[in-house]
Amino acid sequence: MEAESMKRNRLIIPITVLGFLLAGWMHEGLLSSVPKNTPDTARPGKPIHFQYNPTLPCEAVTLLLYTELLGPPQRIPMEKVENRFVKSVAPPDTGTKMILYAFEYTPKDGTGRPVPDNRDGRYWHILLADESGRPLKNALFQLSLSHSGYSGIRTENLTEAMHAVEKELSLYPENHQARLHLYSLILRINQNSESARSTILRDISRILSESEMLPNLEFAASAYRLVGETKQAERIEKKILEKHPSGELAAMQAFNQIMKTEDPEKRFSALENFIDEFPGGSWVEHALSAMTGIAMEMDDDALIISATDRLMAVASSPGAASSLAGAAGVLIEKESDMQRGTNYIRKALEIIDAAKSSPPPSEISFQEWKEGILTTEGRYRDILGWAQIKQGDIEEGVRQLQRAVQGTSQPAVYYHLGVALEKAGKEEAAFQQFARAAAFEGTISDMAYVMLDSLWKSHGRTEDAMAQLLNQEAEYIRNRYRERVLSTETARPAPDFELETLDGDWIRLKDQRGIVVLAFWAAWSRSAQQLIRIFPEIAADFPEVLFLTISTDPYFRDVEYVARRLRLNLPVMLSNRTDQAYGIQGVPTVYVIDSDKTIRFVHKGFTDDFEQRLGIQLEALLKRE
Side-chain-side CA neighbours of residue 14 (13 Å) = 2
Torsion (CA) 193, 199, 205, 206 in degrees, nearest 10: -160
To the question of domain 359-488 being in CATH 3.40.720, the answer is no
Tell me how far apart the terminal alpha carbons of the chain are, to the nearest angstrom. 38
Tens-place pLDDT, residues 452-480: 999 999 999 999 999 999 999 999 999 99
pTM over 0.85: no
CB 518 within 8 A of CB 535: no
Which residues are bridge partners to 549 per DSSP? 519, 572
Task: Write the pLDDT tens digit of every residue in 350-359.
Answer: 999 888 877 6
**467 φ/ψ sector (left φ>0, alpha ψ -120 to 50, else beta):** alpha
Return all residues near 113 (Cβ < 8 A) that are at least 6 apart: 106
Amino acid at 500: E
Percentage of the chain modeled with pLDDT above 70: 90
- Reported as a single tens digit per residue, the pLDDT across 542-558 is 999 999 999 998 878 88
State pLDDT tens for residues 227-244.
888 899 999 999 998 888
Domain positions in the chain: 41-188, 359-488, 492-624
| Assigned CATH topology for domain 492-624 | Glutaredoxin (3.40.30)
Q: What is the pLDDT of residue 216?
A: 95
For range 396-401, the mean pLDDT: 97
**DSSP codes joined into one string, 121-137:** T--EEEEEB-TTSPBPT
Percent with pLDDT over 90 in the chain: 60
Work out the pLDDT band at 209, boundaries 50, 70, 90.
very high
Q: Tell me the CATH architecture of domain 41-188.
A: Sandwich (2.60)
Instruction: Name every residue whose Cβ is closer than 8 Å to that of residue 608 and which is 6 or more positions away in sequence.
Output: none
